[in-house]
Amino acid sequence: MTTTDFSIRGSTAVVTGSSSGIGRAIAERYARDGVDVVVCSRSQENVDPVAEAINEADHDGEALPIECDVTDWDAIEALVAETTDHLGPIDVWVNNAGASFVAPFEEISENGWKTIVDINLHGAFNCAQVVGEQMRERGEGTIINISSVAARDGAPGMTHYAASKAGMNNLTRTLAYEWAEYGVRVNGIMPGLIATEGLESQEGIGADDIDREEVDRQIGTPDELASVAQFLASPAASYILGETITVEGVPRIARTSHHEE
């Protein structure tokens, strides 16, 4: 194996929810590596400037902005058709679109629960179903699901989010088993705390404040997530299927007190 095995140059990728944060970092990383990438979210006005910035940066890959709501099956089909017409068949699909809000379980309405599960889990189902048809017919393709450590640990105040992400992890593992025979690889990434725009607005901590040479930390950068997304899409990950890789820095191991008897 050489470093070229980590390259995905010449591929076509779609990254949902890529107008900001982790999704944008993945789209930018792919474009720098020579991947033609679709930048998409529910608002065209949010994805246009991201694609424009990527294209103005003179990366080897081209960025195509497309508005798409992952809960809308017809919109996903239209995105796949437009992507294929402009950039060719889709090699990599990253299910990153997600949503949440904070509320104790007893205050989450049925509609609130359904909305979050529809975006986070059902949205991944919709996208995998639509693009999966093309991938299975071609006998190749990669799907990467962006989950959360909340799927493993739970998330007080966000039970809907944690449950949807736990479902995504199981979707990743089961779908990888079912579609391996078609040449389609399915894996996931389970981020911990990442210095996105949301964290900066809440805690005042931005990606520029993170020292990547420091090992002892529990806040990562979007670009560190993008590195894992590039690896999973590359030939270097050819023997990895159904895994959801945890990216959270120092493990969150519960500390227990030891008392002398």
* Residues involved in catalysis: 161
Question: How many CB atoms are located within 10 Å of the residue 6 CB?
Answer: 16
Q: 82-98 b/e with 16+ CB inside 10 Å = b?
A: ebeeebebbbbbbbbbb
* Cβ contact 145:229 at 8 Å: no
Query: Cα–Cα distance between 155 and 150 in angstroms, integer?
Result: 5
Structure tokens, 127 = 């996208």
* Cβ contact 135:90 at 8 Å: yes
Structure tokens, 216 = 């002892």
Query: Cα–Cα distance between 49 and 215 in angstroms, integer?
Result: 34
Structure tokens, 259 = 């008392």
Query: Cα–Cα distance between 250 and 253 in angstroms, integer?
Result: 9
Angle between helices 73-87 and 123-138 (to 10 degrees): 40
* Cβ contact 130:179 at 8 Å: no
Query: Cα–Cα distance between 132 and 71 in angstroms, integer?
Result: 16
The DSSP 8-state label assigned to residue 237 in this structure reads G
